[in-house]
Amino acid sequence: MNSAIIFGLLIALMLTGMPISIALGLTVLTFLWFLTTVPIEAVALKLFTGIESFEIMAIPFFILAGNFLTHGGVARRMIDFAVSLIGHWHGGLGLAGIVACAMFALVCGSSVATVAAIGAIVLPEMVRHGYPMRFGAGIITVAGSLGILMLPSIPKIVYAVSTNTSIGALFVAGLLPGSLLTAMLCAVTWYLAKKRDYPRMPRANWAETWHAFRESIWGLMLVVIIIGGIYSGLFTATEAAAMAAVYSFFIAVFVYKAITLKDVPRVLLRAANTSAMLLYIITNAVLFSFVLTNENIPSALADWILAQHLGWFGFLLLVNVLLLMAGNFMEPNSIILIMAPILTPAARKLGIDPVHFGIVIDVNMEVGLCHPPVGLNLYVASMIAGMRITELAVAVWPWLVTMLIFLVIVTYWPALTLFLPRLLGMM
């Protein structure tokens, strides 16, 4: 009964159009005030202690790093390097956009930032070379979602904090799935471009490729810093985020000189605004998790799910359906904060590794970013491309279907996710 009241109240508040963060907070306060004996003073205490976590500090640092990388000329150089490698293939500029999204995702941690940074450069170039805008916008909308699957990822951090899972293992676990998704998206793009006879770029010679690589090496070195630092034990995932922010500032201001020192306060303010918004959601979600735990709801739901005898196969199918449905109404971090503490105990009891489960949730969030009504990638790409949402929603279908196939592969092939963390001794 308590579960029905809590979730019924939350859904009712969300249906009014209330922001998810405020809906979570009001649900908690209402439930505690009328239906429990928990002192209301505990709410104030939990608001402070809930985000008093070393791991949560990684979120503002990665957001700051993403802002410096987006405006610091890193995206342009990664695109040039990708074009020099595969621009001469069928659909070369589209393929270069996907590869550039994958490279930018290795250092950014945000899908919206990836779409904005890569799309703003690639889409005008694709149209100038004779590609339909629908084709390019469809590619970048879906490929931008790699931003939360590859190495650093804000949703991964949120999941790790919610479920007490290793952030470093989650970071590395996304590498092989991300590489597979990149290859699958490239294969679909190449097939469609060849079938429709879209233009190809001239083949770059070795000197041009080497020059493009040298120009992009400063951005790509951030991958080495993050993986090398975490694997060697030199610093934790949170400290890696701080290093990424400092390094991104250095290359944006002093190496590529795309940002002047006068621009830095503006970048800091934008990162602070984004961080504050996200941390406010997390704070209220921590309160919500506190109520769930206090009422023993996660454990009770886990026992109920086990009693249905779904097995791990049926459970993962049910999770995918629930998360895909939630993606129609909520943004990724809110879904993870509400669903992960409830579903993870059942996953553990069924023998599903929490790192693998985290990547499955992450891929579901990727899908939600690419379709209406709340797909953030879709809205960012539509603004860049100057297209209507309904038109772009149709344009993404070939790549969105590819991502759904990829979701099935990741869900039922845990070795793909767990191979690298185990190889590196992270779990």
Q: What per-residue confidence (pLDDT) applies to 288?
A: 76
Report for 144-153, 234-243, 314-323: range of highest mean pLDDT = 314-323
Which of 56-60, 103-107, 216-220, 229-233 has the least mean pLDDT?
A: 229-233
Q: What is the pLDDT of residues 259-269, one digit of tens each?
A: 888 888 888 89
Mean pLDDT of the region 225-231: 78
Report for 233-242, 247-256, 378-387: range of highest mean pLDDT = 247-256
Mean pLDDT of the region 222-247: 81
Task: State the Cα–Cα distance between residues 297 and 38, nearest whole angstrom.
Answer: 16
Whether the Cβ atoms of residue 80 and residue 215 lie closer than 8 Å to each other: yes
Q: What per-residue confidence (pLDDT) applies to 405?
A: 93
Tokens for 234, please give them. 């030199």
Q: What per-residue confidence (pLDDT) applies to 152?
A: 80
Whether residue 114 is predicted with pLDDT greater than 70 in this model: the reply is yes
Q: What per-residue confidence (pLDDT) applies to 417?
A: 92
Task: State the Cα–Cα distance between residues 424 and 96, nearest whole angstrom.
Answer: 30
Burial readout 247-271 (b: 16 or more C-beta within 10 A, e: otherwise): bbbebbbeebebbeeeeeeebeeeb
* 3-state DSSP assignment of residue 285: helix
Whether residue 2 is predicted with pLDDT greater than 70 in this model: the reply is no
Bond into 398 cis (ω within 30): no
Task: State the Cα–Cα distance between residues 207 and 216, nearest whole angstrom.
Answer: 14
Q: Which amino acid is at 312?
A: W
Q: pTM for the whole thing?
A: 0.83
Whether residue 14 is predicted with pLDDT greater than 80 in this model: the reply is no
Q: What is the pLDDT of residues 144-176, one digit of tens each?
A: 888 888 878 888 888 888 888 888 888 889 889
pLDDT band at 128 (very low <50, low <70, confident <90, very high): confident
Provide CB contacts within 8 A for 201, sequence distance 6+: 83, 87, 88, 92, 93, 129
Mean pLDDT of the region 93-104: 87
Indicate the average pLDDT of the chain: 83
Mean pLDDT of the region 374-394: 81
Task: State the Cα–Cα distance between residues 118 and 100, nearest whole angstrom.
Answer: 7
Q: Which DSSP string do the residues of 41-58 spell out, in sequence order?
A: HHHHHHHHHTT--TGGGH
Q: How many other β-carbons are positioned within 10 Å of the β-carbon of residue 26?
A: 15
Question: Residue 121 to residues 70, 93, 94, 329, 420: CA-CA distances in angstroms?
Answer: 11, 11, 12, 30, 33
Q: What is the pLDDT of residues 344-366, one digit of tens each?
A: 888 888 888 999 999 999 999 88
Burial readout 182-203 (b: 16 or more C-beta within 10 A, e: otherwise): bebbbebbbebbeeeebebbee
